[in-house]
Structure formats: structure tokens, C-alpha cells
Amino acid sequence: MTEAALAQSVGSGRLAGISVTVWRAAGIVFASFVTLYVLIPIGVTIAMSFNDGSFIRFPITSWSLRWYEGFFASTRWTQALANSLVIALGTTVISTVSGILAAWTFDRYNLPLKNVIYVLIMLPLFTPGVVLGLGIAIAFGGIEIGGWSFFGSRGSVVIAHSLWAMPLVFMLMEATFRTVDRRIIEASYDLGGRPVRTFFEIVLPMVSTGVISSALFAFVISLNEFVMALFLTSRGTQTLPVLMWLSLRSAGTPELAVTAVVLATAVFACMSLVMVWYVRQLRKLGR
């Protein structure tokens, strides 16, 4: 190699090294910006929840837990929290069971009009919440069973939230089922395992991470949903997001920040459960 070629090679190597360093620095700066962009509003909300003042305003002159005490002592707020949890749990059960069964059916069987059915399943996920909420209110609002009215009940919100959550579970579980080794399923059939038993004892344990993740995502979606709940709840079934919006219109007290912290804590708890479960599964696999 001539001296000129050697110098050119060294120069190219230096430029490549500089380019890698620049891109790495840019990535760190961008990641830091995104992290701060997410954490600053959360940090401000948490700080405001400890404000001793009567309104949401800065600077905070004194600190107190009185708004937390007021939140958990208030029947109105605790009832809204209970409504949110019950509705989220109901949505989780319905959307997880239906989404898993639909995904397994799509994965195992060649259905007629499969693409059309797929679009119909996914359609509610891309439909505005105001359209779904208003449609359910109009279509089922007049249903009464033994004096029990469907409109304004928790059940109406559960059904509405499931329209959003089930397609998400279906999409996640369909991708998860594709990772299952078909040979294991066929071996179970060859050894006399019936389809139902194979599904519950072989397939579900293999995709347990996807099941847990899908269920928790459905729970979080329902817990934070506002638009459909606004259309379908009554005074006794209001969820936390709905009550937050109604309270914000009348008085912006730090109690709203406390409510936001409660919702955020539930979301972070779900995320932590997913991560813990995922790490445990990786350790079982020896990765």
C-alpha cells in the first residue's frame, strides 16, 4: 500500500470515528430531551399535589398532605376511583378473553373473508371515542331490564371501553401466537392432547408474557379513557377522568393534581408488573 493510500485510509477511519461519536452524542441529547419532556410534567404534577394552597399556582409557598387526605376522605372522589377500577377490570376481562380467542382463531384457522373480518375487528380502535360513545348511547340507551337502566351504568362503559381495548389485545396476541413453535402443538396432538387442553396447558403458558402485557394495556386504556365515559356515565358511575374534567370547570384545586398522581401511579404499577414478569420469563429461559 502506497503512502497516499495509507493516509487516505487513516483519514477515512478518523472521519468514520468522528461520525460515530457525533451520532452517539446526538442520540444521547435526543434521548435526554425526550426523557425531560416526559418527566417534567409528571414532576410538576407531583409537586403540585403537595401544595398547601387552595389553587393550582406557582410558586408553591407551603407544603402539605391535606389534599391527599381530602381526596381519600371524599366519598365523591373515592366512588369515582372505585368506578374507574371496576370498569377497568371488567374491560380487561372482556377484551382479554375475546381478543385472545379471536387472535388464536385467526392464527390457527383459514376463515372465509378473513381480511374483511380483520378490518372489522380493528375498526373500533381507529374510530373516534366520541363516535363510539354517542353510538352506544343512542343504540342501547333505552334498554331497561327489571328497572335497571343500561344507560349510565358501569356495564355500558365496560362495553364501550372493550371496543377500544379488544382490538389492541387482538393485535398484540396475534403477533405473539406467531412466535409459537407449531411442532410443539402438533406433538401435543400426536400424544392425545385435545385442542382445548393443548391451548390451556401448552399454548397459554408459552405466551403468558403477551397475555399479561395485553391485559395490563387494556386495563390502562380503560382507566384513562375520558370521552366515551363522559357520554355514558351518570352521577353515580362517573370515572376519575370525568370527575376531574367536571371539577376543573368549577375550581382548579391541587386535588386535581392528587387525582392525576393516583392515575399515574396505577399506570406505572402496570408498567412495572409487565417488566417484572418479562424479566422473570427471561430468567426462566436462561437468557
Residues 245-264 pLDDT 10s: 888 777 667 788 888 888 88
pLDDT band at 83 (very low <50, low <70, confident <90, very high): very high
Beta bridge partners of 233: 152
pLDDT band at 85 (very low <50, low <70, confident <90, very high): very high
Higher pLDDT, 119 or 47: 119
Helix (H), strand (E) at residue 164: helix 154-177
SS3 of residue 239 by DSSP: coil
Superfamily of domain 75-285: MetI-like (1.10.3720.10)
Model confidence at 7: pLDDT above 90:
no
Burial of 73 (0-12, 13-18, 19+ CB in 10 A): exposed
Helical residues (DSSP H) of 225-254, grouped into ranges: 227-232, 240-250
Higher pLDDT, 252 or 136: 136
pLDDT band at 285 (very low <50, low <70, confident <90, very high): low
Q: Between β-strands 148-149 and 144-145, what pairing exists: parallel, antiparallel or unpaired?
A: antiparallel
| Number of Cβ atoms within 10 Å of the Cβ of 24 | 10
Percent of the chain with pLDDT over 90: 14
Domain ranges of the chain: 75-285
CA 89 vs. chain centroid, Å, equals 13
Structural contact between residues 265 and 184, judged by C-beta atoms closer than 8 angstroms? no
Cβ-based neighbours of 251, under 8 Å, separated by 6 or more: 55
Model confidence at 2: pLDDT above 80:
no
CA distance 24 to 13: 16
pLDDT at 6: 45
Instruction: Give me the mean pLDDT over the 269-281 stretch.
Output: 78
Structural contact between residues 53 and 61, judged by C-beta atoms closer than 8 angstroms? yes
Count the helix, strand and coil residues of the chain and give each as a percent rounded to the nearest 5: 80, 5, 20
Q: Which of 79, 74, 78 is nearest to 234 (CA)?
A: 79
Instruction: Give me the mean pLDDT over the 219-225 stretch.
Output: 90
Instruction: Give me the mean pLDDT over the 104-110 stretch.
Output: 85
Higher pLDDT, 5 or 194: 194
